[in-house]
């Protein structure tokens, strides 16, 4: 295929007075980093980490100008890897994509083959980005909890931050697997949305945030998928039944965790840290295989909205303010 000399992308630049500006402009293919695969991006998705990168967070992205986007799904345009051929449909999520490597908020990316997964059967490129990093993370959380013995007949499973990307997909995957899901959210208007995803009960953010200071609370949860961190995670751990797993994958509330060892020693609660960035490829493929088979969702359209690069700035501001529901799929074309 003939390749363009330049392509459209969102570029974030740092000004002389340390402010950060976002602009949709054109980049040269020659500016992309080294890598075995050049991929024409058909879809990306918006994640909280992308919004941090697009706002100048040096903990996510060290150097600017930069194109964010930790997710990309598209077609291989050039390959120096025997594992991939031009025309292959592929997914890239995590690793360094969109952090310090030019990301999916552009029409092309160049990446190592080791970061890349062939698009699974029974999944379109757009569907893969409705899941994206959020869906992969949710799937890894459920896999981890089930590895530690969680079963649907053991009782209620709590999902915190339930209207976010990971939370929404976590609710849907757990419900699809037969769990009694209790969704915690600060958005009182989204009860119907969460019920349609499969939640059996919706509770308020305050109900999931104990401030009594007690080291243990009445055991309620058979398992927990926590996307929020901070005192919400501490409350969840203190409220988990004997031997129950708590999967932690977010820290938007706080990276701090203040509690005693009582839940772990007296109740045998298991705290599982879940990371989808450096996740080993075998585990990554296991999660994707579950997503497209047992956990394939029939209501993906309920979870997402689609936007072009030109409208992405407003979505970035909204996700930072906690105003995004579900997933935003980015169409760079």
Q: What is the CATH number of the domain that holds 156?
A: 3.40.50.720
Per-residue pLDDT averaged across 165-184, rounded?
Answer: 97
Centre a 10 Å sphere on the Cβ of residue 1 and count the other Cβ atoms it contains: 9
User: Residues with Cβ < 8 Å from 88, sequence gap 6 or more?
Assistant: 75, 76, 79, 118, 119
Alpha carbons 171 and 180: distance in angstroms, whole number: 10
Structural contact between residues 27 and 107, judged by C-beta atoms closer than 8 angstroms:
no
- Domain with 168, as residue range(s), is 133-273
Per-residue pLDDT of 82-128, as tens digits, reads 999 999 999 999 999 999 999 999 999 999 999 999 999 999 999 99
Supply 89's token pair: 């449909």
Place of tokens 């029409």: 107
240 backbone dihedrals φ, ψ, rounded to 5°: -85, 140
End-to-end CA distance of the chain: 17
Tokens of 54: 């697009």
Which 3 state secondary structure label does DSSP give 319? helix
CATH of residue 60: 3.90.180.10
Confidence of residue 64 (pLDDT cuts 50, 70, 90): very high
Tokens representing 207 are 């109900």
189 and 101 within one domain: no
In a domain, 294, yes or no: no
CA distance 301 to 101: 30
Query: Same domain for 51 and 78?
Result: yes
Whether pTM > 0.85 for this model: the answer is: yes
φ and ψ of 326, to 5 deg:
70, -135
Q: Give the model confidence (pLDDT) of 123-148 as tens digits.
A: 999 999 999 999 999 999 999 999 99
Instruction: Give the number of domains in the chain.
Output: 2
In the predicted structure, residue 1 carries a pLDDT above the cut 80: no
């Amino acid at each position: 295929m003939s390749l363009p000399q330049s392509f459209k992308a969102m570029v974030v630049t740092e000004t002389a007075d340390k402010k950060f500006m976002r602009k949709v402009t054109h980049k040269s293919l020659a500016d992309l980093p080294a890598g075995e695969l050049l991929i024409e991006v058909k879809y990306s998705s918006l994640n909280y980490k992308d919004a941090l990168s697009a706002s100048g967070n040096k903990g996510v992205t060290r150097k600017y100008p930069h194109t964010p986007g930790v997710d990309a799904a598209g077609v291989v345009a050039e390959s120096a890897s025997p594992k991939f051929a031009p025309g292959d449909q592929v997914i890239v999520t995590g690793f360094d994509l969109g952090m310090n490597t030019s990301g999916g908020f552009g029409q092309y990316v160049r990446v190592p083959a080791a970061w890349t997964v062939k698009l699974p059967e029974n999944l379109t490129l757009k569907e893969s980005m409705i899941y994206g990093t959020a869906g992969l993370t949710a799937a890894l959380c459920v896999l981890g909890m089930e590895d530690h013995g969680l079963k649907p007949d053991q009782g209620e499973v709590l999902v915190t931050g339930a209207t976010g990307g990971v939370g929404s997909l976590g609710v849907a995957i757990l419900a699809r697997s037969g769990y009694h899901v209790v969704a915690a959210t600060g958005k009182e208007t989204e009860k119907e949305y969460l019920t349609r995803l499969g939640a059996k009960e919706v509770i308020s953010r305050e109900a999931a945030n104990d401030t009594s200071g007690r080291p243990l609370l009445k055991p309620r949860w058979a398992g927990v998928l926590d996307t929020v961190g901070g005192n919400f995670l501490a409350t969840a751990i203190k409220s988990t039944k004997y031997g129950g797993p708590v999967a932690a994958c977010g820290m938007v509330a706080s990276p701090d965790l203040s509690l005693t060892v009582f839940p772990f020693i007296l109740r045998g609660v298991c705290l599982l840290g879940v990371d989808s960035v450096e996740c080993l490829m075998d585990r990554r493929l296991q999660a994707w295989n579950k997503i497209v088979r047992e956990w394939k969702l029939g209501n993906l359209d309920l979870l997402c909205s689609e936007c072009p690069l030109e409208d992405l700035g407003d979505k970035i501001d909204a996700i930072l303010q906690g105003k995004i529901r579900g997933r935003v799929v980015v169409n760079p074309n």
